[in-house]
Chain A
């Protein structure tokens, strides 16, 4: 475990995540997250679907795979136009912070190649590489973020006891580790088999809710 990984995954790292709920705002409004138990199920579902996909993309990027091919693979695994936009915007925000924290030619090149932003998991993996972290580190960061973001948002949205939210994430930690391991193995296979070897687990309800949420006239979170 490197201190650079702690910094990259710190909620205070200025990469824009605080304004996103990971789908929790829509799920709260639609009555699917009502407390700690339903939050845990929501986070578990997100972890094993979009979390797994993000972790594999991040691990592959951290392993040095072609970033633009990974960016295309991320597009193919993100059917919701609203979530594509969000992912690219967050990727751009993360890249800004990453270039200040860990200046590297690979990050400058990615910014030049994708001026409107690359997908966030791809940037996360490239950032991990620039910071001297491993593919598994990058996968853990992406997998943890997939559960951490809705948990943090639910504390604000429901006034959920923050100790309960922390307990939800602590109980999920072994599954986060397992997802990161599986994602790293897939990223390793992708080195010889191409991006088709990366997982493509989807969560249709997250996609549908994200589209609805993006059309709300008033909301607290961007997504």
Chain B
């Protein structure tokens, strides 16, 4: 059986991508409406001239998010694929990752070599996280309008994600969200893991997320060399 990067990912079972080069796989999870798709679109616009990118969406209804990305024309259409999740988006990213692995590998075969694959989960609850067999690193996207107590509540997405993104900070004043409290709660829940505050749809704030991905890409390249 071929297992890629055995020293780093002993549990990953990859069938079709031979050799050393494999794209960095970054998962984006989080509740419905927090701005995952907008973040993916902004990341594509920011990074597409630097690295070769593919996107896998896991939608509730097949192609909604993929179609949004296509309309925004953030990438060529053949770089965006949608995976159906049988009404269980968390299952497709955590318990049974086989369809997503198929999608990633087919994408790499078809339009590769790729440097970066962004996997967007369907909007789910605070317990939904990506399997380590599917992604290398993951971010969890929440927003201030969903309630400024989400970081305090914790849950695997908030506590375990490699990057916590708190989006829509421009709305904080309108919904009475206390950003300082959110930052303090996130720091308490996440140990040393980073948290960033963004307002992606307002065209600001995706820069720290893009920088974080650049750092992960650099680590990945150094690890593979």
Residues of A whose CB lies within 8 Å of any CB of B are 12, 14-21, 89, 92-93, 95-97, 99-100, 103, 108, 111, 115, 153, 156-157, 216-222
Contact = CB atoms under 8 A, between A and B. Distances in A.
* A-B residue pairs, 9 tightest by C-beta: A19-B86, A93-B98, A14-B96, A218-B61, A222-B84, A156-B87, A16-B98, A220-B87, A100-B13
B111 interface: no
B86 A220 contact: yes
Contact of B62 (A15, A17, A21, A219): A219
Contacts of B15: 92, 95-96, 99, 111
Interface string B83-101: 1111110011001111101
Contacts of B97: 14
Contacts of A92: 15, 102
Interface in B1-34: 1, 13, 15-16
A205 B207 CA distance: 52
Contacts of B99: 16, 19, 93, 222
A100 B1 contact: yes
A16 B87 contact: no
A95 B13 CA distance: 11
B98 A97 contact: yes
A219 to B, nearest CB: 5
Contact of B86 (A12, A89, A115, A156): A156
A153 B86 contact: yes
A96 B87 contact: no
A216 B83 CA distance: 14
10 contacts: A15-B98, A16-B98, A16-B102, A19-B86, A20-B86, A96-B101, A218-B61, A220-B62, A220-B85, A222-B84
Nearest to A153: B86
A221 B87 contact: yes
Given A96-B98, A156-B87, 15 more contacts: A16-B98, A18-B88, A19-B83, A19-B99, A21-B86, A93-B98, A93-B99, A115-B16, A156-B88, A157-B87, A218-B62, A219-B62, A219-B84, A220-B60, A222-B86
Interface in B69-114: 83-88, 91-92, 95-99, 101-102
B64 interface: yes
A19 B15 CA distance: 21
Contacts of A221: 84, 86-87
B96 A18 contact: yes
Nearest to A222: B84
Nearest to B85: A19
Contacts of A20: 86
B30 to A, nearest CB: 20
A25 B84 CA distance: 13
A10 B85 CA distance: 18
A153 B84 CA distance: 13
B63 interface: yes
Q: Which among A14, A21, A97, A111 has the highest number of chain B CB atoms within 10 Å? A: A14
Contact of A14 (B61, B87, B98): B98
A135 to B, nearest CB: 25
B16 A89 contact: no
A218 to B, nearest CB: 4
Contacts of A115: 16
Q: Which among A21, A93, A108, A153 has the highest number of chain B CB atoms within 10 Å? A: A93
Contact of B95 (A12, A96, A222): A12
A21 to B, nearest CB: 7
Nearest to B101: A96
B12 to A, nearest CB: 10
B20 to A, nearest CB: 20
Interface in B148-172: none
A99 B99 CA distance: 16
Contacts of B101: 96
Contacts of A216: 62
B96 A217 contact: no
B84 A19 contact: yes
B96 A16 contact: yes
A17 B84 CA distance: 11
B98 A220 contact: no
